[in-house]
C-alpha cells in the first residue's frame, strides 16, 4: 500500500511539531485542574496509561530488578512507543520530538543568514549503534541522572513547564545543556546526536520493521538522478541512491521536493506494508 500526500508533507509536519509545543504548555496551565493528560516526554500520562520513554524504562527495570514494582499501566505505556516504532519507523523523531524542531529551526535560520549549507553529516552503521546502546544502558543503570540528561525531548518538555515557574533554577542548567549538545551537534559532527547518540532515537531505529512505514525509491527508471532529495534531507542521507533505509526518520522532505519537481510520477513515495 503506497499513498500520496501531495507536496504538503513538510507543512503538515511543522504543524505537528508546533502543536506538540502548544500541548505541553497547555498541560502545564491546566495541570492543577485536570489529571487526564500530565507529564513530560520522560513519561506522559494519558488517561490511566503512563507512556514511558523506552530507554528510561529499560534502565529503570534493570536498576530495580531485585525489588521490582511492576505497574501494568507503565508497562503498556512502555510498549506503545515500541509498537509505533515498529509500525511507523522513527516518526517520533521527525514529527514530534521538540529537540529536532529546535534543531531544524536554528539550522534553517543559520543557513538563511550564511546562505550556504554544510554537507558533512555524521553517519554510523547498525552494529555501532547496538554496541553504543548496550554501553549507554549499562552506564544509565549505574548513574540514573544520565537517563535524565540524555532524553532531550523529555528535557525540552520539562523546561516548558519550568520556564514559567522557576526561571533561574533548573531552566538555566537545561538550556545550557541543550545549547552545548546543539553546538557539537552542528559544528563538530553534524547530526551526530539524532543519528547515533540519542538513546530514544537509537532504540527506535534498531527496532524498525522492514515493512513498516518507509520512504521507498521506485526501481523502474523513473528517477533521473537529480539528487535534489539528498540536497534537502535534514539527516544528510542519499535517497536517490536508495540506501537511506537504516537511518531515515520519515520526515518526508525528499518526497515533497520530488513531488514538486516530477508532478505525479515521482520515484520517491511513502509506503506502508
Residues that bind other proteins (CB under 8 A): 27-28, 31-32, 35, 38-40, 42-43, 45, 50, 52, 56-57, 60, 63-64, 67, 69, 71, 73-74, 77, 143-145, 147-149, 154, 158, 161-162, 165-166, 169-170, 173
CB of 199 to other proteins, least distance (A): 13
CB of 152 to other proteins, least distance (A): 13
Q: Of the two residues 68 and 222, which places its CB atom closer to other proteins in the complex? A: 68
Give the DSSP per-residue string, 169-184: IIIHHHHHHHHHHHHI
Q: Of the two residues 1 and 145, which places its CB atom closer to other proteins in the complex? A: 145
CB of 64 to other proteins, least distance (A): 6
Q: Of the two residues 6 and 64, which places its CB atom closer to other proteins in the complex? A: 64
Cβ burial of 56 (10 Å; 0-12, 13-18, 19+) is: buried
Give residues with Cβ within 8 angstroms of 21, minimum separation 6.
Answer: 98, 101, 160
Q: Of the two residues 27 and 223, which places its CB atom closer to other proteins in the complex? A: 27
Q: Of the two residues 67 and 220, which places its CB atom closer to other proteins in the complex? A: 67
- Confirm if 5 and 12 have CB atoms less than 8 A apart: yes
CB of 205 to other proteins, least distance (A): 22
CB of 34 to other proteins, least distance (A): 10
CB burial readout 220-232, b (16+ within 10 A) else e:
eeebeeeeebbeb
DSSP annotation of 252 reads: -
Q: Of the two residues 14 and 63, which places its CB atom closer to other proteins in the complex? A: 63
Q: Which three cell numbers stand for residue 194?
A: 539524532
Q: Which three cell numbers stand for residue 34?
A: 485536570
- In this structure, what are the phi and psi dihedrals at residue 81, rounded to the nearest 5 degrees? -60, -35
Q: Of the two residues 148 and 270, which places its CB atom closer to other proteins in the complex? A: 148
Taking the C-alpha atoms of residue 56 and residue 43, their distance in angstroms, rounded to an integer, is: 9
CB of 42 to other proteins, least distance (A): 4
CB of 170 to other proteins, least distance (A): 4
Between helix 72-88 and helix 54-63 the angle, nearest 10°, is 140
- Confirm if 164 and 28 have CB atoms less than 8 A apart: yes
Q: Which three cell numbers stand for residue 171?
A: 531552566
Amino acid at each position: 500500500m503506497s499513498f500520496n500526500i501531495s507536496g504538503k508533507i513538510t507543512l503538515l509536519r511543522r504543524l505537528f511539531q508546533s502543536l506538540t509545543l502548544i500541548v505541553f504548555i497547555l498541560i502545564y496551565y491546566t495541570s492543577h485542574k485536570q489529571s487526564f493528560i500530565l507529564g513530560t516526554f520522560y513519561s506522559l500520562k494519558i488517561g490511566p496509561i503512563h507512556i514511558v520513554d523506552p530507554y528510561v524504562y529499560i534502565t529503570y527495570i534493570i536498576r530495580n530488578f531485585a525489588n521490582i514494582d511492576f505497574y501494568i499501566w507503565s508497562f503498556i505505556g512502555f510498549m506503545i512507543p515500541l509498537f509505533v516504532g515498529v509500525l511507523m519507523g522513527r516518526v517520533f523523531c521527525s514529527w514530534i520530538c521538540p529537540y529536532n524542531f529546535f534543531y531544524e529551526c536554528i539550522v534553517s535560520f543559520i543557513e538563511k543568514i550564511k546562505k550556504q549549507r554544510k554537507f558533512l553529516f555524521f553517519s554510523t552503521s547498525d552494529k555501532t549503534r547496538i554496541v553504543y546502546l548496550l554501553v549507554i544502558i549499562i552506564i544509565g543503570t549505574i548513574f540514573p541522572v544520565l537517563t535524565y540528561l540524555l532524553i532531550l525531548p523529555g528535557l525540552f518538555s520539562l523546561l516548558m513547564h519550568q520556564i514559567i515557574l522557576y526561571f533561574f533554577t533548573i531552566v538555566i542548567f537545561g538550556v545550557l545543556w541543550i545549547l552545548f549538545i546543539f553546538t557539537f551537534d552542528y559544528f563538530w559532527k553534524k547530526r551526530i546526536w539524532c543519528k547515533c547518540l540519542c538513546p530514544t532515537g537509537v532504540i527506535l531505529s534498531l527496532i524498525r520493521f522492514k515493512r513498516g512505514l518507509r520512504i521507498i525509491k521506485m526501481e523502474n527508471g523513473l528517477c533521473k538522478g537529480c539528487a535534489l532529495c539528498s540536497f534537502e534531507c535534514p539527516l544528510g542521507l542519499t535517497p536517490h541512491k536508495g540506501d537511506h533505509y537504516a537511518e531515515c526518520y520519515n520526515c518526508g522532505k525528499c518526497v515533497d521536493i520530488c513531488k514538486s519537481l516530477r508532478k505525479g510520477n515521482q520515484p520517491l513515495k511513502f509506503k506502508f506494508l
